[in-house]
Amino acid sequence: MSEQYRLLFAHLDKEQDIEQAAQALQQRLKLAEQQVEAFFSGEAIFPASDKAKALKQAKVLASLGVRARLKRIVAPAQTPAAAAGQADEQVLAALDYITSSLIRLEERLDDMDQRFSEHLLHQQQSNDSDELALDLSLDEELNLPAASATRHPLLVVILVLITLLLAILGVSYFYPDLFNF
């Protein structure tokens, strides 16, 4: 069972009257007049939340001259079907995140490949114009490494990471009790 808390109206500060408090709540919290009246009559204006968040909400109300009390609400534990549904949602969210990350990586690689190709083309054009201007003869042959050789290790690392992430995701899907996030 998880504990949730709600804020209920307790009283106003001594120097605060109800009209000033209502106006402050409407302006600061962007509440409708009916919501403020309902709060003063004993209803909650915030949804149930954990204790830390409820205390922060109480501090906000206290800064407006309104004192509130915490009411503990005990929520029933989740059923196994609801927990399984939530686990499925988490798996789908993880798959969505991985897919979007793969798409961004692919776009980045394409962009880098295009820039590199343009750079090589520009470099070849400048080398051709330099060769026309200056005729330098070299006695030994110049061996430059292939351009794709620098991208190859990066591509292999990315593919290994993707495969590893998909394997972890598959294991967590088939054995949900193995990983507790």
Position 7 scores a pLDDT of 85
Helix (H) and strand (E) counts in the chain: 5, 2
Read off the pLDDT band of 166 (50, 70, 90): very high
- What are the tens digits of pLDDT across the range 95-121? 888 888 888 888 888 888 888 888 888
pTM (predicted TM-score): 0.41
